[in-house]
């Protein structure tokens, strides 16, 4: 029998993962993606944040930039909260919406049961490093599967680990 503390820990699911992006609004910009003509629409910056990589340095973003923030290798069952701030100003917090999932619906399709079970096991992982390591194995299983919707099921499953948020 497990000690009481082990039982408590095993029942706790990841509720909230924090992602901190430090943006220097109006900072000096040398990167080509941020260059825009004066009459053009506001510049758009896409930030791909791989949660398995070490934390990055602050990013300079010009005032008025629209942001697309995309997480990679995110724990599907967790709430991902992004805090963005600049020096001297309070941080803004945004919760990334969880992608809508239809993975369970594929279990009833002919030949899709095993792949669906593997996808659901993948979605129950609780560590970012496990998710990054298991994506290639899931891709191989989908390639070998007799499920007629294997590609869509794989796409739907991986989408659950890549929440995104657009800030304008």
Task: Give the span between the Cα atoms of 2 and 24, in whole angstroms.
Answer: 49
Residue-wise pLDDT tens digits, 15-27:
566 665 555 554 4
Q: Are residues 44 and 72 in the same domain?
A: yes
SS3 168: coil
Q: Are residues 74 and 146 in the same domain?
A: no
pLDDT at 126: 87
Residue 2 lies in a domain: no
Residue 39 lies in a domain: yes
pLDDT at 3: 45
Q: Are residues 19 and 80 in the same domain?
A: yes
Number of structural domains in the chain: 2
Residue-wise pLDDT tens digits, 67-110:
888 888 888 878 887 777 666 677 777 788 777 788 999 999 99
Residue 36 lies in a domain: yes
Phi, psi of 45 (to 5 degrees): -120, 135
Sign, CA dihedral 26-29-34-36, equals positive
Q: Are residues 36 and 79 in the same domain?
A: yes
Q: Would the pTM of this model clear 0.75, i.e. be above it?
A: no
Residue 5 lies in a domain: no
Q: Residue 97: name the closest of 4, 165, 6, 149 by CA.
A: 165
Res. 136 pLDDT band, cuts 50 70 90: very high
Residue 33's domain comprises: 14-99+163-167
In angstroms, the first-to-last Cα distance of the chain is 53
Q: Are residues 79 and 132 in the same domain?
A: no
Residue 13 has pLDDT above 60, yes or no: no
């Amino acid at each position: 029998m497990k000690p009481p503390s082990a039982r408590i820990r095993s029942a706790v699911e990841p509720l909230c993962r924090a992602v901190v992006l430090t943006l220097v609004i109006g900072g000096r910009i040398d990167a080509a993606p941020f260059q825009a003509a004066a009459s053009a629409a506001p510049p758009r910056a896409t930030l791909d944040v791989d949660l398995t990589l070490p934390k990055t340095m602050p990013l300079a973003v010009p005032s008025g930039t629209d942001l697309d923030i995309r997480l990679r290798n995110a724990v599907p069952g967790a709430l991902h909260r992004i805090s963005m701030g600049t020096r001297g100003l309070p941080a803004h917090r945004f919760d990334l919406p969880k992608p809508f999932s239809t993975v369970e619906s594929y279990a009833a399709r002919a030949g899709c049961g095993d792949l669906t079970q593997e996808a659901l096991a993948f979605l129950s992982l609780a560590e970012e490093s496990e998710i990054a390591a298991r994506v290639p194995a899931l891709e191989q299983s989908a390639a070998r599967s007799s499920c007629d919707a294997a590609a869509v099921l794989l796409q739907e499953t991986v989408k659950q680990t890549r929440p995104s948020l657009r800030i304008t």
